Amino acid sequence: MVPSLVSTAGGLLLLFTLSNAQLRGDSIGTCQRNDGFGKYCPTTCGVADYLFKYMDEVTGDLNHFGNELETIANLTEGADETIVYMKDSTTSAQKSASPDLYFKKSASMLDDVVRFEKTIIAQEEQMFELGNIISSNERRMADLKQLSLQLQQKCNEPCKDTVEIQPITGTDCQDIANKGGTTSGLYYVKPAKATEQFLVYCEIDSFGRGFTVIQRRRDGSVDFNKNWIQYKNGFGYLSPDDTTEFWLGNEKIHQLTDVSTIPTVLRIELMDWDGNKKYADYNMFRLGNEDDKYRLTYAYLFGGDAGDAFAGFDFGDDPSDKFFTSHNGIQFSTFDSDNDKFDGNCAQQDGSGWWMNRCHAAHLNGKYYPGGRYTKKDAGEHGYDNGIIWVTWHDRWYSLKETTMKIIPLSRITAGGGQQTGVKQFGGL
Ligand SMILES: [Ca+2]
C-alpha cells in the first residue's frame, strides 16, 4: 500500500503544479522547459492533452486512494467502537474498582455523618428517658426526705426500745415469783452455786408459778448446730416478750438444777404445725457438771400428754432401739465433743447439741424444718440433720413448730392453773 500511496502523492503534486501553470497563463518568462510538454511552454489545450494522457492513471490512483480512505474510515469506525468499548470499560472499571483515597474519605465521612445523626437521635431518646428517671428520682428523694424528717422526729423522742429487765432477783424464777414478781420477762438470777448472776426469761403465771425457761424454739431464726462451748455458755437471744429462740446454756442449767434439797421438774411444751399443743413433765431433773459432760438425769415422767420420748422408742428396726434411743443418764454431745453411745458422731450427723445416745427418740435442738414434714432427702442420705423430734407424739419425719423447755421446783408444779389441770401422776398415762 505504501508505494501506491507515494505514486498517488506524486500524481497529485503534478496536478497542483499544472494548476498553477494554468493560473499563470502564458507567462513565458517564468516557464520552465519540460520534456513532457515538448519544447514549448504548455498552453491550456496542451495541459488538457497532458491531463487526458494521465487521466486513467490518476483515476485509478483516485479510486485506489478512495479505497484506502474507505479502509481508513472503516478502521476509524472500529476505533470508534473501541472508544465506546473503552468508555464503557472505564465506567465499569470505575464502578467495580476500589475508589481512590479521597473518594473513600468522603464516602467514609458521609457514613460517619449518617451514623452521628442516628447516634444523636438515640442519645436524644436516652436523654428523654433519663429526664423521666431524674423526675422519678426527684419525687422519690422528696418522699425519702419526708420519711427522713419523720424518722428524725421519732428519733428525737425518748427511745422506748431498751430491754426492760425486771428489778427483782432470786435464785431462780420461782424465787422471784415468791418475792412478788408477777410479770413474765427478763430477770437476773443467781443460783446457790453460781459465782455470778445471769439473765433468764421467767414465765410467771397468775398462780404465782415461776418457770425458768432454758430452751425456746419458735421460728428457726437461731441455728442450733453449735459447738461445746456455745452449748455450755448458751446462745440465741433472750427477749422480754418471749419472741426469740435460745439455749440458756448447760452450765447455767447445771447450776439451776444442782440443788440437792429441792427437786426440780423439767416441763417440755410442744406445738405442731397445726397449732396442737402437748407437754411432758420430768421430775427430779438435773444436769451434771461439765466434767460429767452435763449428763441428763431425771427420776420419772411426772405428767403431760406428749408421751415419754425421753424413755426411748421402738422404731421397729431393732429390739434394742428403745434402749439406745433413751435419754435418761446420757451425757451431752456436740459435734466437737462426742459423748454418745454410737460408733459415729450423733451430734455431728444430726446437726445439734443434745443428750445423744445412739442417737435419740427426742431431739428438741434439731434442725428447723418449716412446715414440719421432711424427707430422708431433706435430712441427707442417712437421715442426718434430723428435725425437732418427739417420736411419742409425731413420727421421726415430722419436725415440730415450737418447743419450750423450762424448769420449776416440784413443790410448785401442783399449784394448779394452766396446763396443770391435765397433770397426771407417773404411770397414769
Ligand atoms: Ca460416738
C-alpha pair distances (Å), 156 with each of 87, 150, 152? 94, 10, 6
Residue that wins the pLDDT comparison between 246 and 12: 246
Same domain for 329 and 218, yes or no, is yes
Q: What is the structure's pLDDT at 90?
A: 54
Q: Are residues 118 and 199 in the same domain?
A: no
Claim to verify: residue 383 and residue 405 sit in the same structural domain: yes
> How far does the centroid of ligand 1 lie from the alpha carbon of residue 348, in Å?
9
**Residues with Cβ within 8 Å of residue 120, at least 6 apart in sequence:** none
Task: Confirm whether 357 is domain-assigned.
Answer: yes
Q: Do 356 and 248 lie in a common domain?
A: yes
Domain of 118 in residue numbering reads as: 44-93+104-154
Distance from residue 384's CA to the centre of ligand 1 (Å): 14
C-alpha distances in angstroms, 157 versus 22, 154, 164?
142, 5, 18
Residues 192, 142: one domain?
A: no
Which residue matches cell numbers 422519690?
140
Structure confidence by residue, pLDDT tens digits, 257-293: 987 778 999 999 999 999 999 999 999 999 999 999 9
Percent of the chain with pLDDT over 70: 74
Coil, strand or helix at 57:
helix
Q: Are residues 261 and 176 in the same domain?
A: yes
pLDDT of residue 39: 46
Between CA 332 and CA 340, with CA 336 as vertex, the angle to 5 degrees is 40
Over range 172-195, report the average pLDDT. 96
All three cell numbers of 172: 431462780
Domain tally for the chain?
Answer: 2
pLDDT at 196: 94
Q: Select from 396, 402, 395, 373 the least CA-distant residue to 383.
A: 396
pTM: 0.62
The per-residue pLDDT for range 332-363, each reduced to its tens digit, is: 999 999 999 999 999 999 999 999 999 999 99
Cα of 391 vs centre of ligand 1, distance in Å, is 22
Lowest mean pLDDT among 127-131, 383-387, 411-415: 411-415
Single-letter residue type at 370: P
At residue 28 the predicted structure's pLDDT band, cuts being 50, 70 and 90, is very low
Same domain, 111 and 248: no
Same domain, 280 and 315: yes
State in Å: Cα 363 to ligand 1 middle. Answer: 16
Find the 249 Cα to ligand 1 centroid distance in Å. Answer: 22
Extended beta strands in 218-366, E state: 235-236, 246-247, 264-271, 277-283, 286-287, 296-297, 300-304, 362-363
Q: What is the dihedral of CA 368, 370, 371, 375, to 10 degrees?
A: -60
CA 329 / ligand 1 centre spacing (Å): 16
Return the higher-pLDDT residue of 134 and 222: 222
Co-location of 175 and 278 in the same domain: yes
User: What pLDDT sits at residue 208?
Assistant: 94
Question: Rounded to the nearest whole angstrom, what is the distance from the C-alpha of residue 283 to the centroid of ligand 1?
Answer: 28
Residue 160 located in a structural domain = no
Decide if pLDDT at 25 tops 60. no
Q: How far is the CA of 364 from the centre of ligand 1 (A)?
A: 19
Return the CATH number at 323: 3.90.215.10
The answer on 131 and 182 residing in a single domain is no
With b meaning 16 or more CB within 10 Å and e meaning fewer, what string describes 2-35? eeeeeebeebeeeeeebeebeeeeeeeeeeeeee
Identify the weakest region by mean pLDDT among 129-143, 161-175, 306-320, 412-426.
412-426
Q: Quote the CA–CA distance of 356 and 354 in Å, as a whole number.
A: 5
Q: What is the pLDDT of residues 52-90, one digit of tens each?
A: 676 777 677 777 777 877 777 676 666 556 556 655 655
Which residue bears the cell 442420705?
A: 381
Q: Given a cut of 60, is residue 40 above it in pLDDT?
A: no
Quick one: pLDDT at residue 96?
A: 58
DSSP 156: H
Instruction: Calculate how far, in angstroms, residue 233's C-alpha sits from the geometric centre of ligand 1.
Output: 23
The answer to whether residues 173 and 232 belong to one domain is yes
Q: Are residues 184 and 303 in the same domain?
A: yes
Q: Percent of the chain beyond pLDDT 90?
A: 52
- Residue 57 domain-assigned? yes
**Looking at the domain assignment, is residue 299 inside a domain?**
yes
Q: Looking at 28-37, 83-92, 102-111, 176-185, which range is the least confident one?
A: 28-37
CA of 395 to the centre of ligand 1 (A): 24
Closest C-alpha to 357, from 311, 381, 325, 380: 325
State in Å: Cα 386 to ligand 1 middle.
Answer: 17
Q: Are 58 and 11 in contact (CB under 8 A)?
A: yes
Between the CA of 345 and the centroid of ligand 1 the distance, in Å, is 4
pLDDT at residue 428, as a whole number? 28
Query: 373: CA distance to ligand 1 center in Å?
Result: 27
297 C-alpha to ligand 1 centroid (Å): 20
Q: How far is the CA of 341 from the centre of ligand 1 (A)?
A: 6
